[in-house]
Structure 1
Amino acid sequence: MSSADVTEICSDLVQIRSENPPGYTDEVIAYIREFCDDIGLKTRTVTRGRRHNLLSAEPKGKLLLCGHVDVVPARDEGWIHPPYAGLIEGGFVHGRGSTDMKGGCAALLVALRNTIDTEGDPGVDVAFVADEEGKGEFGMEQLVGEGILKPCDAIIAEPTPPASPIIGEKGVLRTRVTFSGESGHASLHPVIGNSAIVQACRYLHFCQRLHEREWPIESEVADAIRVTGKALESLTGLSASDADRVLSRIMYNPGFIEGGERMNVVAQHCDLSLDMRIPWGCRVDEVIPLMKAAAPDAAITVLESSEPSFSRPGNLTKLLCEGIGSVLQTQAEPGVSQAGSDARYLRILGAEVVMYGPGDLNLLHSVNERVPVSMLENCQQVYEYVLNRVSEI
């Protein structure tokens, strides 16, 4: 294991199943702990049942190398190759988690091994955690919240655009909006009756109006949005205007709508579950009153929330950009993400947290997920560039 290249390590990790749910990470953490033992890195596990996290045994608090090891589930249907085979073919490692984010974890591990072999221990910490793809009940959120893991400058190996390390992410607001109606005979509706389902559907018009609203954004964040907008255009085919909307507006998704008693009865009850992504310049406590005002008779339950986060570019961002430029021979500029990650829990206390890792962003959580071998190798070299210059952070 200790002599395997980054492609082989990624393949091994993909083959160790760690779907969330149920979120069992004991086997994949055991593999990573054995790797760390082989290279002389002392670690400890923090566990709850079969949900395992791996942390440095003697943290130095200088730089944290971080990744999550749980993955979203995959069914066999539609996959060209079995999702957990970890097949290496055609210049890719195929399988669930190869992009999100076992490929990044593999690149961190091999970079750390190579640095120790050539330069000695760089004095950095590691955290390979559970439950990023779930509710966060026993992963980074709890580790930081309970003081088990102290926030410090960190690289999180989430997949990013190749020349754009990520220094910020939008906030998250997940709610359940419960509507109450008045039952009646279906033959009289909509002339008579007050359907809770119709109320929920009308509420989506408010969500669209909220999406259209613009928010004041600081110039430094606006610059990062511009960089990411260009990357999204290139990588996903979004138009410039659509990319800007994704990054600068409130995005909303009605994930579930559940209600009604019978087809021939006007619905008395309906639950609408909403996932909203909150842009910079806006706060969760601004959005909730707007939601309540749009449906004063509905009950709104907040299921999860986090504010937008942003790390002002410092020495770590500068060093990562230099490393990307050295390896890829292109200018690197920091950007932001429309999605959430474990970075928010580390940023909350002021740490400079930068996400940078390998992966095809079009294949996140998708059928036929795969990671290019070239990206694995390039990211490994970028990490080595940083690890050889930790004293500059």
Structure 2
Amino acid sequence: MPQPAFLLVLVLPALLIALAAVLLLRAARFRPDPAVLESPSGGEPVSVDADAAAGRLSLLIRKRTVSVREPEAAVRAEFRSLLDLLPELYPAAHMALEREIVNGRTLLYRWRGEEAEAPTVLMSHFDVVPAEEEGWIHPPFSGAIADGRVWGRGAIDTKGTLVCILEAVEQLIQAGFQPRRDVYLSFCDDEEIAGDGAPTHVRLLQERGIRPGLVVDEGGAVVEGIFPGVRGPIAVVGVAEKGVSDFELIVRGAGGHASAPPRLGTAYRLARAIRRLERRPPKPFFPPPTRDMLDTLGRRSSFGYRILFANLGLLEPLLARLFHRLSPETRALSSTTIAVTTLQGSPAANVLPAEARAGANVRVAVGETAEGVAARMRRVIADDAVELRIVRAGDPSPVSTTREEPYRIVAAAIRGTYPEAAVTPYVMLGGSDSRHFAAICPYVYRFTPYELSREERETIHAANESLPVRSLGKGIEFYIRLIRSV
């Protein structure tokens, strides 16, 4: 009678060959739907004057609309000056649309369509983060147009988007176009400080019984080289946002003179807690929107990668760990992230800190909660002397579907503008004002309609933020196509 070990030697190779055959067959069949690859006509061809739009963006960049919690009178004047300038730049839009200045500082426009039900909301913000002049090729508030680009704070984030929307509206109105449904433009002045502008707009629409059928805000863009095995441009559309939370770690002690330090002092225990969090990061996994992204882009990847993505159900734990190690971006896509950003201790080199503090910015993955993350962090730190306090709890936004008409409208406008780009959902890593609109609309999407290189993306909130004039023109084209379709 054959021995079990002998049988295993006979059967195991056959099982491995069968498994390999299944994996390869699934990979061979794992191809994009031909209908999805077809670029829609997008209606009539779109022609825009990107150079003229660049001039208007330049004027808006010169307004120093820097977000701070308590702005001085000079700063408030810059915001008012921008509000006053818009009617001069876009006269047709301001004749045709109803403009409402909410709370004396934010803008809500209504463009009446043939129907009022399920309107579209297009969003942008006109506040910017601070910018020091050091390190800039052109001063951050110069609005310089040079080397085929518009330079300055807000060129990408997001005065450029505001210009694209208003340019599209202006051009369509001049052509005699009327939308089928109402279109609202929601422009706020405090997105960069997570202010109450967008929540106020949401409450206002709620009180008026308005439930949007589609909301589009800043978010993903057309990018390359971010997904393993995929060549060519990818248009990433945010269907959800990670939660943004702020935590604080606090250790208290006696303090005293540094000449006679105790064992396990406050600074040491805080440092040990941070090290433990670094060594045991949150478990990697793929929430549903990320699985959708892997399915969409995996079908366009090289064959070796398709073997992996075609068999995601079997290989997900392995792939999630791979994404966790590949790069900071893929790590953020596959887990909650914890970034220690501030540290406080003793005010002097020879004084022991009576209290040591660390601030941590936590981006909560879809499917998790801030409270759940805090509970896990306490277990990992495993030190009762370290107090973990939630300063601000922000859970992930709801996930907007990719299987209904609103998403298809956005995807079609992208493919009409960027025919070579593969359109895919993803979870947005940053926060935007659009998360507030999830309370009144299940179809909230986040897409910035530019081709952005890694270098260009890295200038957002940094030196030398600038936008190619050509990209500005493509952004206007996207909004024209979108408005025509809704």
TM-score normalised by the shorter chain: which range applies? Answer: 0.7 to 0.9
Question: Residue 19 of structure 1: SS of its match in structure 2?
Answer: coil
Aligned match of 1:44: 100
Displacement of 1:204 after TM fit? 1.1
Residue of structure 1 aligned with 2:63, choices 9, 16, 37: 16
Mapped to 2, the partners of 1:77 and 1:227 lie a distance apart of 42
Deviation at 1:285, TM superposition (A): 1.9
Identify if the C-alpha distance between structure 1 residues 70 and 228 changes in structure 2 by more than 3 Å, giving closer, same or farther. Answer: farther
Question: Is contact 1:79–1:367 with CA below 8 Å preserved after alignment?
Answer: yes
SS at match of 1:332: strand
Q: Which deviates more from structure 2 when the two are superposed, residues 146-155 or residues 270-279? A: 146-155
**For residues 121 and 254 of structure 1, what CA distance do their matches in structure 2 show?**
50
Quote the Cα distance in structure 1 between the aligned partners of 2:297 and 2:350.
49
> Could you tell me whether the CA contact under 8 Å between 2:290 and 2:333 is conserved in 1?
no
CA distance 1:57–1:320, change in 2 (3 Å):
closer
Matched, 1:317 2:407: yes
SS, match of residue 377 in structure 2: helix
1:55 aligned to 105, 108, 118, which one? 108
Deviations 1:251-274 (A, max 9, x none): 222221112254223221012111
Q: Which residue of 1 aligns with 2:86?
A: 32
Q: Does 1:327 align with 2:385?
A: no
Alignment map for 1:58-137 (pairs within 5 Å)? 60=116, 61-122=118-179, 123-136=182-195
Which of the numbers 291, 316, 340 marks the counterpart of 1:222? 291
Number of the residue aligned with 1:308: 396
Deviation at 1:212, TM superposition (A): 4.5
Deviation at 1:276, TM superposition (A): 1.0
Aligned-pair CA distance for 1:67: 0.3
Paired amino acid for 1:276: V
Q: Superposed, which structure 2 residues align to 1:327-346 within 5 Å?
A: 327-330=417-420, 331-346=422-437
One-letter identity of the residue aligned with 2:197:
G
Distance between the aligned counterparts of 2:124 and 2:266, measured in 1?
A: 43
In structure 1, runs of 5+ residues without a counterpart are 232-237
Q: 2:217 aligns with which of 156, 166, 185?
A: 156
Q: Partner residue of 1:173?
A: 245
Q: What residue ranges of structure 2 are gaps of 5+ in the alignment? A: 1-48, 224-234, 302-322
Which piece of structure 1 moves more, 332-341 or 125-134?
A: 332-341
CA contact (8 A) 1:170 1:307 kept: yes
Instruction: Give the TM-score, by structure 2 length.
Output: 0.70
CA shift at 1:108, angstroms? 0.7
Give the counterpart letter for 2:52 in structure 1. D
Point out the more displaced range, 264-273 or 58-67. 58-67
C-alpha RMSD over aligned residues: 3.0
Q: SS at the partner of 1:311?
A: coil
Q: What secondary structure does 1:76 align onto?
A: coil
Instruction: State the Cα distance separating 1:133 from its structure 2 match.
Output: 0.6
Larger radius of gyration: 2
Query: Residue 249 of structure 2 aligns to a residue in which SS?
Result: strand
SS in structure 1 at match of 2:191: coil
Matched residues in 2 for 1:283 and 1:215: separation? 14
- Aligned pairs for 1:186-201 (under 5 A) are 186-189=258-261, 192-201=262-271
Instruction: Find out whether 1:241 has 2:323 as its counterpart.
Output: no
Structure 1 residue aligned with 2:278, among 208, 211, 223?
Answer: 208
Q: Which of 435, 438, 460 matches 1:347?
A: 438
Post-superposition Cα deviations, 1:113-138, rounded to whole Å, max 9, x if no partner, equal 112222423230111001111132x3
Identity of aligned residues (%): 23
1:107 Cα deviation from its structure 2 partner: 0.5
**3-state DSSP of counterpart to 2:278:** helix
Higher alpha-carbon deviation: 295-304 or 119-128? 295-304
Give, in whole Å, the separation in 1 of the partners of 2:160 and 2:111: 26
Q: Is the 8 A contact 1:53 1:129 kept in 2?
A: yes
d(CA) in 1 for partners of 2:124, 2:207: 16
Cα distance per residue 1:278-306 (max 9 Å; x no partner): 11222112112223443433333323232
CA contact 1:105–1:157 (8 Å) conserved in 2? no
Mapped to 2, the partners of 1:5 and 1:221 lie a distance apart of 39
Change in Cα spacing, 1:159 to 1:75, as seen in structure 2 (3 Å) is farther
Matches of 1:261 and 1:10, distance apart in 2: 45
Q: C-alpha displacement at 1:171, in angstroms?
A: 1.1
Contact 1:43/1:55 (<8 A) preserved: yes
Distance 2:428 2:279 in 1: 23
Task: Report the Cα offset of residue 178 of structure 1.
Answer: 1.9
SS at match of 1:114: helix
Higher mean Cα deviation, 355-364 or 100-109?
Answer: 355-364
**Pair 1:370-2:461 in alignment:** no
Contact 2:110 2:185 in 1 (8 A): no
How many Å separate the matches in 1 of 2:278 and 2:386? 18
CA distance in 1 between counterparts of 2:151 and 2:211 reads 33
Instruction: Give the match for residue 30 of structure 2.
Output: none
Give the aligned residue type for 2:291: A
Could you tell me how far apart the structure 2 residues matched to 1:145 and 1:205 are? 43
Q: CA deviation at 1:103?
A: 0.7
- CA–CA distance in 2 between the matches of 1:32 and 1:265? 55
* Secondary structure, counterpart of 1:165 in structure 2: strand
Partners of 1:115 and 1:180 in 2: CA distance? 62
Aligned residues between the structures = 376
- Contact between 1:151 and 1:351, CA under 8 Å: does it hold in 2? no
- Is the Cα–Cα contact under 8 Å of residues 228 and 335 in structure 1 kept in the other structure? no
